[in-house]
Amino acid sequence: MYTHYKIWAKESRSFLDPALAAKLRTAKTGDVVIVAAGETIEDIGQGVAWLEDIVIHDACYALSQKCIQTMYHICKQIFFTRK
C-alpha cells in the first residue's frame, strides 16, 4: 500500500475474487487504513484515506475518521519531523 498510494485512493491496484473478498475484513468508504507491517521500518504506520469500500489485510488498521483531513495532518507531521 505504501508504495502505490499517496494521501487518498479511490481504486485498488489489485483485485480479489468476489467470493473470497466477501469473507475478509473491509474498510468502509471514508476510513483511514494504516499499515501495521512492512518491508522496512519506514513502511510501518503509513496510511491512506480510502474513498471506496475496500478489503484490507490482517496487518492493517481501519480508522473511521475525516479521512482526507486526517491523512494530510499525518503527512504534514511526518514531513516536519524528517525535515
Question: Is residue 3, in this structure, part of any structural domain at all?
Answer: no
Domain span holding position 68: 8-82
pLDDT of residue 81: 65
Question: Is residue 42, in this structure, part of any structural domain at all?
Answer: yes
Task: Compute the half-sphere exposure of residue 41: CA atoms within 13 Å on the CB side of its CA.
Answer: 0
Task: Compute the half-sphere exposure of residue 25: CA atoms within 13 Å on the CB side of its CA.
Answer: 11
pLDDT of residue 9: 86
Contacts of 31 (CB under 8 A, 6+ apart): 49, 50, 62, 63, 64, 65, 67
pLDDT of residue 15: 83
Beta strands in 3-44 (DSSP E): 8-9, 26-27, 31-35
What nine digits make up the cell of 17?
475474487
Question: Is residue 2, in this structure, part of any structural domain at all?
Answer: no
Question: Is residue 63, in this structure, part of any structural domain at all?
Answer: yes
Domain count, the chain: 1
Residue-by-residue pLDDT tens, the chain, 83 positions: 555 777 788 888 888 899 998 998 888 888 888 888 777 877 777 788 888 888 887 888 787 766 667 777 776 666 556 55
pLDDT of residue 30: 83
